[in-house]
Structure 1
Amino acid sequence: MDITLANFQLKAIADLTESMEKPNREIVLKSCTGSGKTIILTHFMDEYFKSNAKTVFVWLTPGKGNLEEQSKEKMDKYIHGSNTKLLCDIMTSGFEENDACFINWEKLTKKGNTALKDSERTNFLEHIQKAFDNGLSFKIIVDESHQNDTIKADDIIELFNPDKIIRCSATPKSYKDAILIEIPEADVIAEGLIKKLLIINENFEQNISVDDQITYLIDKAIAKQQELHSAFLNLKDRTVDINPLIIVQLPNKSDALLENVENYFESKGITYENNQLAVWLSDKKQNLEDIEEPDAQPVAVIIKQAVATGWDCPRAHILVKLRDNMSETFEIQTIGRIRRMPEAKHYESDLLDCCYLYTLDEKFTESVKLSLGKDALDACKIFLKQEHRNFEIVSEYKTDVPFPRDAKLAMKVISKYFESKYHTSKDLAKNKTVLGANKYSFDEDIVDYTKSGSVATLNKEEISDLNDIAIHEELSTTKHGREYHHCAAEIGMKANLEYSSMNAILRRLFLDNVKCEHKIVALPTRALYSFVINNKHKLIDDVRDAMSAENAQITLAFNNITEKPISFPLEMLFTYDGSAKSQAEMTKNVYKGYLSSAEKRSLPEKLFEKYCESSGKISWFYKNGDKGNEYFSIVYEDNFGKQKSFYPDYIVGTTEGKTWIIETKGGFTKSGDSEDIDKYTAKKFGVLKKYLGKYGLQGGIVRQDKQSGELCICTETYSDDIKSDSWVLLSDIM
């Protein structure tokens, strides 16, 4: 099965590959549930095998749920021709080069476990010894590592004498001198793999006094399940029916509670007999077969702690958590069960792109908010004020054509970048001279550099004054072939291109016997190997810069843009921080009940909203969404020719009757340094200015000058220098 890796997954693979070359033994991969950790690790192992002989990966999984079999199946599915083994296969044929072995911890550690009798244990140790004798080295992957931090587990790891241990978890413990590779949750959300927000206790009354938590919470959950189910059925172009699932989590010692929950569901027509209710407890299991399927019959499943690890059911949308006192680590894992998107994409619907928690357990709520931060919020529905219901603005939408990562277009972009930076041309011989003058090496040997001489003190200046000595090694295609592939993979990963695409690009641009109108230099195969190996770091820099450079954008036949006038949504799911000190209503917002504690909001957004509320020149403001057809967007193209949607932050009405479109960005420090982390601000400014000119509107970029504390706006030409004339005080013009 071919799978297109997300950008954050490619970056994680590149980071893992890089960390294998560092001296640290421990590597920690922190990735939230739903980020495709198994996909990342299986592709990483596959890439690592390509350039590292005599390696065996041992993947250790927790005991419950046959996770080792699930993980092996995924690698077989994603990586064609991979050598995967379970413990039974190892006991039969031992360890071999490039094996990926999936082993359940408990089969090795649990007392009285019959999986390995004493004689078999001896046999297992002999297989490890035989692997050592054959020159194999072991690398360990510890899945769900927070569950297996015990002396027994440590003893098992040490049997393999690994020089690298990769520990993976959504909630990892800290390890001394470990390299931490953390996948930002925001990146996983941006790719559509997990839900945008966890909504806690939506539309709960302010002061709840309930006799029966079961009745109150399950009623809320069933109503939400029906609302979600109806929305899924009404989706346009749906390819699969999705029946959203409620998870009811009971405290561990709660037999009476279990019976009450079952009875209440039965009173609502949700029973074991009609297959709408499922249960997954250690001593009671019912209606679990194919429960993970998108359209499975059960609308609710009752669980305790055991199901939290590794269970993958993307249709799970709602969690009802009945009171108990569990550890924080486990709580985060439980929330992970409802965070995956059913089809690994957002539906551009606030309702469907969020997950829902209902609980009266304040301690649990606090813990979840602490661990998820602004990804876990209170929510209520708010409505558009009457006077803003006739407002319209023209919104642009991109064509609904899925855009693959295009190696041909990437090749054009890289070629154009070399042309711009190094002035390359159609004269390939001249190009070689030009690149050589810019410190590209065309040595046919593999060249390593070291220093020679003596220093009195270990300071930078003395060391840099030493003689550089080049060590030449004759290229061997068998020996250096792996290194070439390793370099090609690394160059590609740094630019979010898969190995196969990057290899094809390098061959077309630099190899003599491959036809290509964008060719830069023509080298024989052996020379290409040494060129890529010797220039790896320069190629990484140039290819990465080519992907983001403004002037490398290739003009293609522009895809059609759909333009249509839209109004503000009549109602919205308003998310806010219920624990914030100020809960004042912002009366100038177009929605009734819009509070100053609105979240998610960046600091620039909060400052701008305060400004709008207090300014005598502004009569109303609207906070735009960041995704979805119901929100205002402007279309532009990136360097790959891919259409992208830009959602400006605010639409503002002034007392003079003018409409402004505002994008807010990070400010400038007191010394004038930029705190804007968006590399595309200049590009977005250009897109916004073009749109404003087309429709005769006002607008610009707003940032804070921390030296004066004032908000400033840029409306004519964009500058990243607050001292330039491009920036004027916001209060002077709106």
Structure 2
Amino acid sequence: MHILKDFQEKAVGSLLAHTFDALSDTPEQVPILLEAPTGSGKTVMMADYLYRLVDELPLQPSLNPNVAFIWIAPNTLHIQSLKSLQQLYADTAKLRAIDLSELSTNPVLNPRDLLFVNWSSVDGMKKIWRKENETNTNLETLIENTKAQDTQLILVIDEAHLSAFTGPQAIAVRNLIKAKVEVMVTATPNSRPQRTVSISRKKVVDEGMIKKSVQLNIGLDPAKQNSDNVHVHLLRTALEKKNELAALYDAELGAGVVNPLLLIQLPSDTATLSDEDKTIRETLEGLLNMEYGITTNNGRLAVWLSGEQNRVGLEDMNGFQDVLIFKQAIAQGWDCPRAAVLVSYRNVQSPNFGIQTVGRILRMPHQRHYKNDSLNYGYVYTNIESNRIRFEPSEADFFNYQIANRQADKGWVYDKLSTATIVNDRASVGVLTTAFERKFFSVMENTYGIGQLPDVDLFTPAQMEDVARQKEANKNAMREKFWQFEIDEHQIKIPTDIHLDPYEVNAIMLSNDQIKAFSITDAQFGSMFDRFCYDNITRLNRSKSWKKLRETLNHFAEYYLGLNEFEVRKIYLFPQNKAYLVQHIAKALENFEAWQTKQGNDSRRVENKDWEVPETRFFNELYRREPIENHALEPFFEYEKASKPEISLKDFLVEKAAHIDWWYKNGDQGKEHFAVPYHDKKGVKRLFYVDFIIKFKSGKIGLFDTKTKRSDAEAANKHNALLDYVEAENKSNTTRTLIGGVLIPELTGDVMTFKYCKNRIEDTDSLVGWDFFNPEEL
């Protein structure tokens, strides 16, 4: 199984919690939604969710552990998912992934079966798996036989946003299956039920799994059209971008590691080719052949159309194909991380631009962002008129509409600065690790005054005697504090024949004849011990931690008591011993959590790299364009919710243009922007992004962060860290001078001034002793 990213782990944990809650509820067909952006690892998350569900169901009191699954997907996506999960489950027998062809006469799903179904095979009464027949090979019989064995069904609906899953036939099929739980999976849900797990695109971007956004029609210029029709011009521009990206991949990763793929989507939404499709295809294939040498004959052109497919090796990172022509066939599920550029020819009757298609170019080839930021975006070229494009809210933020370029014709010098990023090597927060074992051993040693058994190799009689003596000494030390080790198999005492009023909340006292001791098998002991370990993970992620607790307890038995895991279970689970053990586990968990928190802070380290004003920066529709001559990027884009101090300083810098070469409004997050490290009030290493970088006529460089009085509790820490940074940089590079600090505006009458402090500060309550910010003096 894959090691999940933090956001994936949280999503799986939430899915499990919702599922356990739904399974304990009376209603059937309880909906659960996983809203996961394209490229977030949906299949991996679902695979881990199903695996852990069958693993943990036996640990849930009062829940039926017998569960089977039906996974329904559109088109041939079920085959892709089937193969993926078969591969993920190859090393475990937890689940059996199958398709309809593997079911026999009078079919049944056994517990832990995972059946993959193509939606079109069951969506109508005329389909073979919906018809009655002599062999009872139909969906109705499958459901009846499965439920007759007391096996619950969970239905997974992949790409659940499609109308196929919400129409009358879909409702009929879902009502026929009548699963206990229906898990809907999609990037673009039509609605959100009460039990919804939603993954934000930002989290997936931050992990580097998908591109930061999509850039639309970059470089498309009427002046370069040269009498070509728009279809040809779109393709020429897109091919230029594809070749540019290929060179950037080669420079960063090595020649031929990634061959970026250009996708061409034909206009009509029907499966068959329309006359318009055929005309455009002929034109494009002629251009590709005559001017670029890209044809199906030499393998550089792939085709994915109804009845025509030529795509062997297409998904390979260095696949030979440069261009793929398709229609709507790859709108769902297709995974080709090297896909980088999309040319979409849409007719005027189809103004919507769907994220399912755009999603094909969002994946990152190596699931990380690259140093060259141009490789961290997808590129779309389309002939849709801008006033006809319609995006759903969940789709709109994939697109950057506005571009600003660094002004390179004014002779300005853009100095390199050292910017910071924070790297954290800590173990996953909230998950029990090997370090817990030492914490637990320490609690037991301090509580009972015991030590580990001697480490012997040859087991001579003398060594055996030493081991036996230490073993007995440890047991006696624990006996003195009321542990019992001589326990028979009839140790599980269970109340019997008790009649309770379910509405009576007061406790009742049971007599001895109402409690009976039961013997249990080794398998039952194992199940009870697993549940004990699971229930005692109270401060961390249970799903990821309970097995480590079990391992720790078994190691303690071996290293201190000379007992194996089968012998020690009944000792641990004896009520009197169990009461003490719960306390010791809780103490060890507290110690581990404190240690892990400290490790997390200690492992956060700062890494530095060179930074300069970017050559190109993209802005979405939340930024307003403003012509400003002395801003480093042209045009200047201002965030529509910019703070008043930021706006005031912008206006001030424009007013003082005679004393300034250039200034730059920095971004407020992301590795591509300039950042300085600091420690917050809790001592945690963090970054802050100064608002303004200013190059004065004198050659000095100013780094200023705008605030108002008492607006930021961390202002003093940021200011002092910035001064430390400035002093260190000025010492290491004496050819330039940096200045900076927190900059606070003051309005006196109708005159706006700004103040900053050249010294370290404790707060921003008072500006006494602060200097005026005057560019003419600097």
Sort the Cα spacing of 1:396 and 1:144 in 2 relative to 1 into closer, same or farther, 3 A: closer
User: Are residues 1:41 and 2:46 paired?
Assistant: yes
- Name the TM-score, length of structure 2 as normaliser: 0.70
Do 1:45 and 1:57's aligned partners in 2 also have CA atoms closer than 8 Å? no
| Structure 2 counterpart of 1:393, from 373, 394, 417 | 417
- The C-alpha deviation readout for 1:17-37, integer Å capped at 9, x for no partner, is 111133581111111110101
Deviates more, 1:8-17 or 1:47-56: 47-56
Alignment of 1:46-195 (within 5 A): 46-53=51-58, 54-65=65-76, 67-79=77-89, 80-81=91-92, 82-91=95-104, 94-110=108-124, 112-114=126-128, 118-119=132-133, 122-147=137-162, 148-174=165-191, 177-195=193-211
> Who is 2:652 aligned against?
614
Whole-Å separation in 2 of the counterparts to 1:233 and 1:16:
41
Deviation at residue 689 of structure 1 after TM alignment: 6.2
Do 1:348 and 1:629's aligned partners in 2 also have CA atoms closer than 8 Å? no
Sort the Cα spacing of 1:426 and 1:587 in 2 relative to 1 into closer, same or farther, 3 A: farther
Question: Which has the higher Rg, Structure 1 or Structure 2?
Answer: 2
Do 1:56 and 1:100's aligned partners in 2 also have CA atoms closer than 8 Å? no
> Who is 1:230 aligned against?
247
Sort the Cα spacing of 1:371 and 1:63 in 2 relative to 1 into closer, same or farther, 3 A: closer
User: Are residues 1:274 and 2:298 paired?
Assistant: yes
Deviates more, 1:528-537 or 1:346-355: 528-537
Alignment of 1:671-682 (within 5 A): none
Do 1:248 and 1:302's aligned partners in 2 also have CA atoms closer than 8 Å? yes
Deviates more, 1:212-221 or 1:467-476: 467-476
Whole-Å separation in 2 of the counterparts to 1:630 and 1:602:
21
Sort the Cα spacing of 1:590 and 1:166 in 2 relative to 1 into closer, same or farther, 3 A: same
Sort the Cα spacing of 1:91 and 1:526 in 2 relative to 1 into closer, same or farther, 3 A: same
Deviation at residue 532 of structure 1 after TM alignment: 12
Whole-Å separation in 1 of the counterparts to 2:721 and 2:186:
41
Sort the Cα spacing of 1:489 and 1:330 in 2 relative to 1 into closer, same or farther, 3 A: farther
> Who is 1:437 aligned against?
none
Alignment of 1:600-639 (within 5 A): 603=641, 608=646, 611-615=649-653, 619=660, 620-624=662-666, 632=674
Letter in 1 for 2:359: G
Deviates more, 1:81-90 or 1:615-624: 615-624
Sort the Cα spacing of 1:262 and 1:280 in 2 relative to 1 into closer, same or farther, 3 A: same
User: Are residues 1:576 and 2:615 paired?
Assistant: no
SS in 2 for 1:49: helix
Whole-Å separation in 1 of the counterparts to 2:404 and 2:765:
43
Sort the Cα spacing of 1:200 and 1:514 in 2 relative to 1 into closer, same or farther, 3 A: farther
SS in 1 for 2:103: helix
> Who is 2:340 aligned against?
317
Letter in 1 for 2:108: G
SS in 2 for 1:504: helix
What is the count of residue pairs matched by the alignment? 663
Gaps of at least 5 residues in structure 1 are 431-441, 456-465, 517-521
Deviation at residue 373 of structure 1 after TM alignment: 3.2
Do 2:626 and 2:637's aligned partners in 1 also have CA atoms closer than 8 Å? yes
| Structure 1 counterpart of 2:383, from 355, 360, 364 | 360
Alignment of 1:377-416 (within 5 A): 377-380=400-403, 382-385=405-408, 386=410, 388-389=412-413, 391-395=415-419, 405=428
Deviation at residue 313 of structure 1 after TM alignment: 1.2
SS in 1 for 2:166: coil
Deviation at residue 318 of structure 1 after TM alignment: 0.9
| Structure 2 counterpart of 1:296, from 309, 319, 329 | 319
- The C-alpha deviation readout for 1:62-108, integer Å capped at 9, x for no partner, is 3312x222212222322331322212223366311122222222222
User: Are residues 1:200 and 2:200 paired?
Assistant: no
SS in 2 for 1:60: strand
Sort the Cα spacing of 1:70 and 1:704 in 2 relative to 1 into closer, same or farther, 3 A: farther
Whole-Å separation in 2 of the counterparts to 1:139 and 1:378:
42
Deviates more, 1:538-547 or 1:361-370: 538-547
- The C-alpha deviation readout for 1:385-408, integer Å capped at 9, x for no partner, is 455425232345789x98875999
Deviation at residue 695 of structure 1 after TM alignment: 3.5
Whole-Å separation in 1 of the counterparts to 2:190 and 2:516:
43
Sort the Cα spacing of 1:42 and 1:662 in 2 relative to 1 into closer, same or farther, 3 A: farther
- The C-alpha deviation readout for 1:92-141, integer Å capped at 9, x for no partner, is 66311122222222222246545665325555433322222221111111
Sort the Cα spacing of 1:410 and 1:404 in 2 relative to 1 into closer, same or farther, 3 A: closer
Whole-Å separation in 2 of the counterparts to 1:587 and 1:369:
36
Deviation at residue 199 of structure 1 after TM alignment: 0.4
User: Are residues 1:246 and 2:284 paired?
Assistant: no
| Structure 2 counterpart of 1:504, from 542, 548, 552 | 548
Deviation at residue 185 of structure 1 after TM alignment: 0.2
Do 1:203 and 1:380's aligned partners in 2 also have CA atoms closer than 8 Å? no
Alignment of 1:203-602 (within 5 A): 203-205=219-221, 212-236=229-253, 238=254, 241-252=257-268, 253=274, 254-268=277-291, 269-285=293-309, 287-324=310-347, 331-362=354-385, 366-368=389-391, 370-380=393-403, 382-385=405-408, 386=410, 388-389=412-413, 391-395=415-419, 405=428, 427-428=446-447, 477-481=525-529, 483-484=531-532, 487=535, 492-493=540-541, 499=544, 503-504=547-548, 508=552, 512-513=556-557, 525-526=572-573, 549=597, 553=600, 555=602, 566=610, 568-569=612-613, 572-577=615-620, 582-591=624-633, 593-597=634-638
Deviation at residue 6 of structure 1 after TM alignment: 0.8
The RMSD of aligned alpha carbons is 5.4
Gaps of at least 5 residues in structure 2 are 59-64, 269-273, 450-482, 484-490, 495-499, 561-567, 731-737, 747-751
Identical pairs, percent: 22
Do 1:692 and 1:698's aligned partners in 2 also have CA atoms closer than 8 Å? yes
Letter in 2 for 1:725: D
Sort the Cα spacing of 1:29 and 1:56 in 2 relative to 1 into closer, same or farther, 3 A: same
> Who is 2:487 aligned against?
none
Whole-Å separation in 2 of the counterparts to 1:425 and 1:648:
50
Whole-Å separation in 2 of the counterparts to 1:44 and 1:226:
40
Whole-Å separation in 1 of the counterparts to 2:663 and 2:397:
23
Letter in 2 for 1:594: P
Deviates more, 1:350-359 or 1:390-399: 390-399
Do 2:402 and 2:618's aligned partners in 1 also have CA atoms closer than 8 Å? yes
Whole-Å separation in 2 of the counterparts to 1:731 and 1:398:
32
Sort the Cα spacing of 1:118 and 1:168 in 2 relative to 1 into closer, same or farther, 3 A: same
> Who is 1:26 aligned against?
31
Deviation at residue 634 of structure 1 after TM alignment: 5.4
Deviation at residue 230 of structure 1 after TM alignment: 0.9
SS in 2 for 1:233: helix
Whole-Å separation in 1 of the counterparts to 2:352 and 2:596:
39
Letter in 2 for 1:344: Q
Deviation at residue 351 of structure 1 after TM alignment: 1.1
Deviates more, 1:696-705 or 1:69-78: 696-705
Letter in 1 for 2:114: A
Deviates more, 1:43-52 or 1:85-94: 85-94
Whole-Å separation in 2 of the counterparts to 1:240 and 1:645:
36
Deviation at residue 260 of structure 1 after TM alignment: 2.2
Do 1:251 and 1:304's aligned partners in 2 also have CA atoms closer than 8 Å? yes
> Who is 1:694 aligned against?
728
Do 2:426 and 2:600's aligned partners in 1 also have CA atoms closer than 8 Å? no
Sort the Cα spacing of 1:655 and 1:538 in 2 relative to 1 into closer, same or farther, 3 A: farther
Letter in 2 for 1:270: I
